[in-house]
Amino acid sequence: MIEWSEEDLMIRDAVRGWIDAEVRPNLDALESGELPPYDLLRSLYKTFGMDEMARSSFQSRLAKEREGGAAGSDGERAGGGSAAMSMIPVIELCKVAPGLVSAMGVGLGLAAGTIMKRGTPEQKERWALPLLTMEKVGAWAITEPNSGSDAFGGMQATARKDGDEYVLNGSKTFITNGPYADTIVFYCKLDQGEDPRNREILTFVLDRGMPGLEQSKPLRKMGLHSSPTGELFLNDVRAGADRLLSSGAQGGKESARQNFVTERAGVAAMALGVIEECLKLSVEYAKTRELWGQRIGDFQLIQLKLAKMEVARLNVQNLVFRHIEMQRAGRTPTLAEASAMKLYAAQAASEVAQEAVQLFGGNGYMSEYRVEQLARDAKSFQIYAGTDEIQITHIARDLLSR
Ligand SMILES: Cc1cc2nc3c(=O)[nH]c(=O)nc-3n(C[C@H](O)[C@H](O)[C@H](O)COP(=O)(O)OP(=O)(O)OC[C@H]3O[C@@H](n4cnc5c(N)ncnc54)[C@H](O)[C@@H]3O)c2cc1C
Domain CATH for 89? 1.10.540.10
For the CA of 110, the closest atom of ligand 1 is 8
Rounded to whole angstroms, how far apart are CA atoms 58 and 85?
17
pLDDT at position 77: 44
If you take atom 51 of ligand 1, which residue's CA is the nearest one? 384
- Of 225, 243, 261, at which residue does a domain stop? 243
Q: Are residues 348 and 395 in the same domain?
A: yes
pLDDT per position as a tens digit, 87-122: 999 999 999 999 999 999 999 999 999 999 999 999
Q: Are residues 255 and 385 in the same domain?
A: yes
pLDDT at position 248: 65
For the CA of 178, the closest atom of ligand 1 is 8
Res. 46 pLDDT band, cuts 50 70 90: very high
For the CA of 386, the closest atom of ligand 1 is 21
pLDDT per position as a tens digit, 244-301: 998 865 566 777 777 777 788 889 999 999 999 999 999 999 999 999 999 999 999 9
Q: Are residues 33 and 115 in the same domain?
A: yes
Cα 361 to averaged position of ligand 1 atoms, centre (Å): 31
Indicate whether 112 belongs to any domain.
yes
* Burial of 67: CB neighbours in 10 Å, binned 0-12, 13-18, 19+: exposed
Residue 184 or residue 70, greater confidence? 184
For the CA of 385, the closest atom of ligand 1 is 17
Mean pLDDT of 24-44: 96
Q: Which residues does a 6 A CB cutoff place in the pocket of ligand 1?
A: 106, 140-143, 148-149, 174-176, 224, 229, 380, 383-384, 386-387, 389-390, 393
Which one of 263, 276, 337, 372 is the catalytic residue? Answer: 263
Cα 195 to averaged position of ligand 1 atoms, centre (Å): 24
Q: Are residues 108 and 226 in the same domain?
A: no
If you take atom 1 of ligand 1, which residue's CA is the nearest one? 380
Cα 297 to averaged position of ligand 1 atoms, centre (Å): 38
pLDDT at position 264: 86
Q: Are residues 170 and 203 in the same domain?
A: yes
Domain CATH for 384? 1.20.140.10
Q: Are residues 385 and 286 in the same domain?
A: yes
- Of 142, 147, 149, the one to substitute when testing ligand 1's pocket (max ligand atoms within 8 A of C-beta) is 149
Indicate whether 394 belongs to any domain.
yes
Q: Are residues 95 and 147 in the same domain?
A: no
Res. 177 pLDDT band, cuts 50 70 90: very high
- Of 192, 225, 243, at which residue does a domain stop? 243
Number of structural domains found in the chain:
3
If you take atom 42 of ligand 1, which residue's CA is the nearest one? 389
Indicate whether 165 belongs to any domain.
yes
Indicate whether 1 belongs to any domain.
no
Q: Are residues 130 and 11 in the same domain?
A: yes
pLDDT at position 84: 73
Indicate whether 183 belongs to any domain.
yes
Lowest mean pLDDT among 183-197, 215-229, 276-290: 183-197
Q: Are residues 148 and 177 in the same domain?
A: yes
Q: Are residues 342 and 383 in the same domain?
A: yes
- Of 142, 174, 343, the one to substitute when testing ligand 1's pocket (max ligand atoms within 8 A of C-beta) is 174
Res. 66 pLDDT band, cuts 50 70 90: confident
Mean pLDDT of 206-212: 98
- Of 201, 342, 383, the one to substitute when testing ligand 1's pocket (max ligand atoms within 8 A of C-beta) is 383
Q: Are residues 262 and 373 in the same domain?
A: yes
Cα 292 to averaged position of ligand 1 atoms, centre (Å): 46
Q: Are residues 121 and 260 in the same domain?
A: no
pLDDT per position as a tens digit, 74-95: 444 443 356 677 899 999 999 9
pLDDT at position 198: 87
- Of 76, 110, 137, at which residue does a domain stop? 137
Q: Is the pTM of this model over 0.85?
A: yes
355 is catalytic: no
Q: Domain limits at 175?
A: 141-243
Mean pLDDT of the chain: 93
Q: Give the rounded percent of residues in the chain with a pLDDT score beyond 90.
A: 84
